[in-house]
Amino acid sequence: PELVAIQVGAGEDPSKAPFTKVLEQADKILVVRNQDVDIYGRIWCCWEMFVAYQFNLIQKPGGLMVVGSPGGAATPQIDISVAEASNAEDKRKILQYIRSQRQGEESVNRIVTEVR
């Protein structure tokens, strides 16, 4: 868990996390859904969509690929404020960052709901 925290961890600013830095360089993003779990019930998956949107991957033709069936007890509308995280501090920092941006939480909820 400590190694994962170092590689993915939000630190003080999730936009500077190693995970985010890798996404900044991506040309495409692949979302692999499964029937057992609604991945957008996880805060890091929601963060990934937020970052992909910020870097125009979602808007870019072919920039977002989605495979698999939506899973879990999917709700019609995503609310990232109730998304889960293994680390509560990561969730707090991610939500704080998203809420401070022009797109904001409602935009992320809409984007994630559409992608899902």
pTM over 0.75: yes
pLDDT of residue 83: 92
Amino acid of residue 58: I
pLDDT (average), residues 90-98: 92
pLDDT of residue 77: 80
68 pLDDT more than 60: yes
* Chain mean pLDDT for the chain: 83
pLDDT of residue 75: 59
Q: Find out whether 111 and 58 touch, Cβ atoms under 8 Å.
A: yes
pLDDT of residue 12: 74
pLDDT of residue 41: 85
Please state, in angstroms and rounded to a whole number, the distance separating the CA atoms of residues 85 and 21. 20
Residue 80 parent element (H or E): none
Tens of pLDDT, residues 36-65: 878 888 898 899 999 999 999 989 999 999
pLDDT of residue 9: 57
pLDDT (average), residues 76-82: 86
Pick the closest to residue 44 from 1, 6, 104, 93 (CA basis).
Answer: 93
Please state, in angstroms and rounded to a whole number, the distance separating the CA atoms of residues 24 and 39. 21
